[in-house]
Amino acid sequence: MEQWDMFNIAASLYTYFPAVAAAALIELTHERQPYLRSFGLLSGALFVGIFFLATTTQPLTRLIFAGIGAVLSVFFWWIANGEKDCFKDIDPNAPTPDPNTELEGDTTGWQQ
Residue-level pLDDT at 2: 57
Q: With respect to residue 107, please indicate whether it lies within any of the assigned structural domains.
A: no
Residue 103 falls within a domain, yes or no?
A: no
**Domain span holding position 46:** 6-82
Q: Is there a domain that residue 108 lies in?
A: no
Q: What is the mean predicted confidence (pLDDT) over 21-48?
A: 91
* pLDDT above 80 for 15: yes
Do residues 28 and 39 make contact, with C-beta atoms less than 8 angstroms apart? yes
Q: Which pLDDT belongs to residue 47? A: 94
In-domain check, residue 28: yes
pLDDT of 105: 79
Domains in the chain, number: 1
**For residue 18, is it within any domain?**
yes
Whether 51 and 25 have beta carbons less than 8 Å apart is answered as no
Task: Tell me the pLDDT tens digit for each residue of 64-81.
Answer: 999 999 999 999 999 998
Q: pTM here? A: 0.72
Is residue 14 assigned to a domain? yes
